[in-house]
Amino acid sequence: MPRRPTIDTQSPPRWIPASAVAFWAGVDNDARERLLPRVAGVVAVATVAGGLAIKASGTDLGTPLPPFVSTWAPDVDPQALLAAAVLATAVFAGPSLVRRPASPAGFAALAAAVSLAAGLALSSSRAGTIGWYAVFDQRFSWEAPNEYLVSLPALQYGPQFFLDHFAELAPSLSVHPAGHPPGFLLLLDAFRITTPPATGALCIGASGALAPLTYAIGRGQLGEARARVAALLVALSPDVLIFGITSADAVFAAAGTAALWGLLANPRAARLAGAAGVAVASLLSWALLALIPLAAVVRLRNGSLRAAVTLVAWCALVLIAFYAVLYTATGYDPIGTYQANEHVYRAGIAAIRPYEFWVFGSPVAFGVALGLPIAYYALRAIAAGQPIALALAVVVGVSSLLGFTKAETERIWLFLVPIAALAAASVLPPHRLRLALMLLALQALVVELLFYNVW
Is residue 11 predicted with pLDDT exceeding 70?
no
pLDDT band at 140 (very low <50, low <70, confident <90, very high): very high
Share of the chain above pLDDT 90, in %: 84
In a domain? residue 295: yes
Confidence of residue 23 (pLDDT cuts 50, 70, 90): low
CB atoms within 10 A of CB 316: 13
C-alpha atoms less than 13 angstroms from C-alpha of 245 in its C-beta half-sphere: 29
Using alpha carbons only, what angle is made at residue 119 by residues 116 and 121, rounded to the nearest 5 degrees? 105
Quick one: pLDDT band at residue 359, thresholds 50, 70, 90?
A: very high
How confident is the model at residue 3, as a pLDDT?
44
CA 155 to chain centre: 28
Cα–Cα distance measured from residue 275 to residue 262, given in angstroms and rounded to the nearest whole number: 8
DSSP one-letter string for 133-192: TGGG-TTT-TTGGGSSGGGGGGGTT-HHHHHHTHHHHGGGS-HHHHTS-SHHHHHHHHTT
Does residue 265 surpass a pLDDT of 50?
A: yes
pLDDT for position 6: 43
Percentage of residues of the chain with pLDDT beyond 70: 94
Residue 250 lies in a domain: yes
Cβ atoms within 10 Å of 301's Cβ, excluding its own: 18
Asked if the model's pLDDT at residue 327 lies above 70, the reply is yes
pLDDT of res. 28: 66
- Please determine, for residue 384, whether its predicted confidence score (pLDDT) is greater than 70: yes
Closest listed residue to residue 186, CA positions, set 207, 204, 166, 201: 166
Cβ atoms of 400 and 47 within 8 Å: the answer is no
Exposed, middle or buried by CB within 10 Å (0-12, 13-18, 19+), for 348? middle
Q: What is the pLDDT of residue 168?
A: 95
Residue 110 has pLDDT above 90, yes or no: yes
pTM of the predicted model as reported, rounded to 2 decimal places = 0.92
Task: Decide which of 35 and 347 is more confident.
Answer: 35
Q: What is the mean pLDDT of residues 92-115?
A: 93
Q: With contact defined as beta carbons under 8 Å apart, do 422 and 230 qualify?
A: yes
Average pLDDT estimate for 291-310: 93
User: Residues 175, 50, 240, 451: is their CA dihedral positive or negative?
Assistant: negative
Give the per-residue pLDDT at 329. 97
451 forms bridges with which residues in the sheet?
Answer: 72
Question: Can you say whether the dihedral through the CA atoms of 198, 204, 206, 208 is positive or negative?
Answer: negative
Range 372-392 average pLDDT: 97
Q: What is the pLDDT of residue 17?
A: 54
Q: Is residue 12 part of a domain?
A: no
Q: How many angstroms from the chain centroid is the CA of residue 218? A: 16
Structural domain boundaries enclosing 350:
18-452
> CA-to-CA distance for 352 and 117, rounded, in angstroms?
38
Q: What was the pLDDT predicted at 9?
A: 41
Residue-wise pLDDT tens digits, 223-240: 999 999 999 999 999 999
- Stretch 398-421: mean pLDDT, rounded? 94
Top pLDDT among 23 and 110 is at: 110
Query: b/e per residue, 359-381, with b = 16+ CB within 10 A?
Result: bbbbbbbbbbbbbbbbbbbbbbb
Residues 425/227, Cβ–Cβ less than 8 Å:
yes
Residue-level pLDDT at 18? 54
Residue 140 lies in a domain: yes
Q: pLDDT category, 346, cuts 50, 70, 90?
A: confident
Taking the C-alpha atoms of residue 384 and residue 361, their distance in angstroms, rounded to an integer, is: 25
At 26 the pLDDT is: 57
- Is 13 contained in some domain? no
pLDDT at 27: 63
- For range 99-114, the mean pLDDT: 93
Residue 7 has pLDDT above 50, yes or no: no
Render pLDDT for 284-298 as a digit per residue (tens, 0 to 9): 999 999 999 999 999
179 near 341, Cβ under 8 Å?
yes
- Tell me: cis bond preceding 5? Omega within 30 of 0 counts: no
**Quick one: pLDDT at residue 363?**
97
Q: How far apart, in whole angstroms, are the C-alpha atoms of residue 245 and residue 115?
A: 10
User: Rounded to an integer, what distance in angstroms lies between the CA atom of residue 131 and that of residue 414?
Assistant: 19
> Which pLDDT band, with edges at 50, 70 and 90, does 127 fall under?
confident
Residue 11 lies in a domain: no
Lowest mean per-residue pLDDT among 8-17, 62-71, 424-433: 8-17
pLDDT class of 2 with cuts at 50, 70, 90? very low
Least confident of 46-55, 143-152, 300-309, 317-326: 300-309
Is 10 part of any domain?
no
The number of distinct structural domains making up the chain is: 1
Query: How far is it, in rounded angstroms, from Cα 215 to Cα 223?
Result: 10
Residue 89 lies in a domain: yes
- pLDDT at residue 182 above 60? yes
Considering only CA atoms, give the Rg of the chain. 21
CB 386 within 8 A of CB 33: no
